[in-house]
Amino acid sequence: MITAAKAVQIPLSIEPHLDSMAATPAEALKLLDSVPGLRITIDWAQMVCLNIQHEEILRLLPHARHIQIRQAAKNQLQTPWEKGKIDVARVVADLINGGYSSAVCVEMMNIPGKHGMQKVDFLRESARMRDTLREARDRILKEREKEKSK
């Protein structure tokens, strides 16, 4: 697949998730070592649902081509904002500080019950995540500019 993707100049990534052969960062990194040129789509909620700690998720960042995010908690692949455990501002700070410059998307799922997913108001949750992502990005970039001007 890597050869075919390169031939047509399409980046190829896999998403480590609950139902994949590489659900954890350790398994994903092992797969990446076995398949040169393969990249990762990090779904932060998938990792949090598996109770994988933030620092462990960050091990995937150098290999990331794409980031997906929504609120989640241990054993709950999707939660309403108030019940989620993802520190979005921390994620954004670590993405920026880690040099990540590709896409970050808000992903919502409509499969209540699967992997503890809770039904949420997609519009409200998506807008809140979008706004939080933007606010965190803008605050961090503003702080950087302030530091540069000192």
State the CATH number of the domain containing residue 127.
3.20.20.150
Report yes or no on 7 lying in a domain: no
Give pLDDT, residue 77.
97
Strand order from edge to edge, sheet including 39-43: 13-14, 39-43, 64-69, 103-106
Residue 150 belongs to a domain? no
Position 27 in a domain: no
CB atoms within 10 A of CB 117: 20
* Predicted pLDDT of residue 5: 87
Query: Is residue 45 a contact partner of residue 67, using CB atoms and an 8 Å limit?
Result: no
Note the residue count of the chain: 150
What pLDDT band is residue 16 in, cutting at 50, 70 and 90? very high
Q: What is the pTM of this model?
A: 0.91
Q: Is 54 contained in some domain?
A: yes
The residues that bridge with 30 in the sheet, in sequence order, are none
Of 60-64, 79-83, 111-115, the one with minimum mean pLDDT is 111-115
Residue 111's identity, in one-letter code, is I
**Confidence band, pLDDT 50/70/90 cuts, at residue 150:** confident
Q: Which domain holds residue 104?
A: 42-144
Strand bridging mode 103-106 / 13-14 = unpaired
Residue 63 within a domain:
yes
On whether residue 130 sits in a domain, the answer given is yes
- 140 in a structural domain: yes
Which H helix or E strand runs over 43? strand 39-43
pLDDT confidence bin for 40, thresholds 50/70/90: very high
Please check whether residue 22 lies inside any domain of the structure. no
Which residue(s) pair with 39 in the sheet? 13
Domain count for the chain = 1
